[in-house]
Structure 1
Amino acid sequence: MTTARVFVIGHPIGHSRSPMMHGYWIARHGLDATYEKRDVAPEDLGAFVRQFRAEGWTGCNLTIPHKREVMAHVDSIDPAAEAMGAVNCLWWEENRLIGGNTDAYGLIAHLDNSRPGWDRGASRAVVLGAGGAARAATWGLRQRGLEVDLCNRTASKAETLADELGTGVAGHGTDQLAELLAGADVLVNTTSLGMIGQPPLDLDLGPMPAHGVVYDVVYAPLETDLLKRAAARGLGTVDGLGMLLHQGAKGFERWFGVMPEVTPELRRMLEDDIRADLAKH
């Protein structure tokens, strides 16, 4: 029996924690499989996909700068990737190579896991940012029936993204945040503000309702200044590490037909790795 081979590709790719995560699940399920990271320059993407097809490799994760460009190299694109204009996962369905996106699934699954019942009665969310993570968060929240207000420092970017995502999404500048937060059940920060090396997100959480949930996709540090302030206010908090874990689990299921468990042990492994990495800086 041939060993199943799965990859994560990007340029650069040295920072990826996906091999640790998937290696844990492969061992836990006793699979004859490997998960490798490979640096693939943009001009080499087509050659990589041709080799992927020729070798019959099992699956692949993709990160910057390949998430859009790979769409030209697959046979079909799933609805999530179509809506988000980005692919982060390749798998086979019979002999067709599918490009999909598990980011929105990961974000919502982590919300479900961390704050069970968060969407009971929830109707509005505010999403900060206008990049790929904002697109994933908005699409996932819309699937749960929430209306989404996208806020970005450059209002035109939020408005353009809102137009692309369609009904139930509106774009705004950050000057309207206070008013929007007053009616928000969920706030999701998809910007890099608060990440190590970046300034903190300067945001007054005072207007948010007491039942509100604050989700920060940043996971280095594990508890951002935004989450600390949200906790101090008594708001529900959700960190970004679980999104990485749950989106990875969905990809694993696509490749191997089994949904792996996001265990406390695995989370601790990644937390320790993040802390060790932060200690170097």
Structure 2
Amino acid sequence: MSQDRFHLAGVMGWPVMHSRSPLMHGHWMEELGLRGAYLPLAVPPDGLKDALRALRPLGFAGVNLTIPHKQAALQIVDEVDPVARRIGAISCVALREDGSLFGTNNDWRGFLGNLRQNAPGWHPGAGPAVVIGAGGGARAVCYALLDQGVPEIRVVNRSRERAEQMNRDLGGGLKIVEWSQRDAVLSDAALVVNATSLGMVGQPELEIDTTRIDTRAVAADIVYTPLETRFLTELRGRGVTVVGGLGMLLHQGPPAWTLWFDRTPEVSVALTEKMQRDITEKL
């Protein structure tokens, strides 16, 4: 690939200026010595179709999508891969050589990459997993665990109907548990994942009895503001291996770069520390 090429990508959302993605992708461009930019693109919901169709004439290689565009894009792009179709959301759009729009979902890859890096002792056959939530993040997490062959995946959500719909969309294989029984299904879990926004800055805390979780288990969160939620802090204090949500954001980046620029950047310690400082300073 020519070094003279201007590498252009971005993230579309509404709002979007809070996104940490430009810092991450900018780091990689500087590290790899590439001319380019990764831009935050504030696109209102009724402007998504026009914005995506404008990518080609503007010279973009592609974009990431964040709230509220991940579901709407399914009806706009020219091709949706089977993974995004099952998860029910597109997190990454790439421009094909013919100018068509290809949509996929890298959030599940981000979750797995984060888990492997920060909990290397975990393996799919370790035991049951408990996933709290049934929104977009939970769909990506459950897809990842199904893909890895986890023997039992218990989903706990306030709305059982929404959890049942997620199970149908993912092709089955999930065990739906009533919200009132959330503490009772923790004791033999090898992995517990908070896949909700509970615990995020400005949101209520996740109300769960963390003492029920075995100290040999792994606990993960998809929230990264704060870097460590109360849920994880309590468990870390008991000696449980905990995995924060920042790594999920970091690890969904390289697959996007492979699609856009035919390069695979590294999720390095330097990048992680840079992102952590930025989040801490702006909280």
- Decide: shared fold, TM above 0.5: yes
- What corresponds to 1:32 in structure 2? 35
Name which of 80, 83, 88 aligns with 2:83.
Answer: 80
Name which of 169, 191, 201 aligns with 2:196.
Answer: 191
Structure 2 residue 142 is matched with structure 1 residue 138: yes
| Cα pair 1:127 1:190 within 8 Å, conserved | yes
Structure 2 residue 151 is matched with structure 1 residue 128: no
Structure 2 residue 202 is matched with structure 1 residue 207: no
SS at match of 1:179: coil
Q: CA deviation at 1:55?
A: 3.5
Distance 1:4 1:73 in 2: 24
Q: TM-score, normalised by structure 1?
A: 0.94
Distance 2:107 2:124 in 1: 22
Q: Per-residue displacement from partner, 1:117-166 (whole Å, max 9, x unpaired)?
A: 31153232111011100101000111110121110122222222223223
Name which of 64, 70, 73 aligns with 1:61.
Answer: 64
Q: Per-residue displacement from partner, 1:183-211 (whole Å, max 9, x unpaired)?
A: 31100001111111222212112332332
Distance 2:15 2:124 in 1: 41
Distance 1:225 1:249 in 2: 29
- What corresponds to 1:258 in structure 2? 263
SS at match of 1:111: helix
| Cα pair 1:22 1:252 within 8 Å, conserved | no
Distance 2:62 2:35 in 1: 14
Distance 1:150 1:165 in 2: 13
User: RMSD of the alignment, in Å?
Assistant: 1.5
Q: Relative to structure 2, which stretch is displaced further, 204-213 or 234-243?
A: 204-213
- What corresponds to 1:175 in structure 2? 180
Aligned residue pairs: how many? 278
Distance 1:75 1:120 in 2: 34
Distance 1:101 1:218 in 2: 18
Q: TM-score, normalised by structure 2?
A: 0.93
- What corresponds to 2:51 in structure 1? 48
- What corresponds to 1:234 in structure 2? 239
Q: CA deviation at 1:38?
A: 1.2
% of aligned pairs identical?
Answer: 41
Once superposed, which parts of structure 1, at least 4 consecutive aligned residues long, lie more than 3 Å away? none
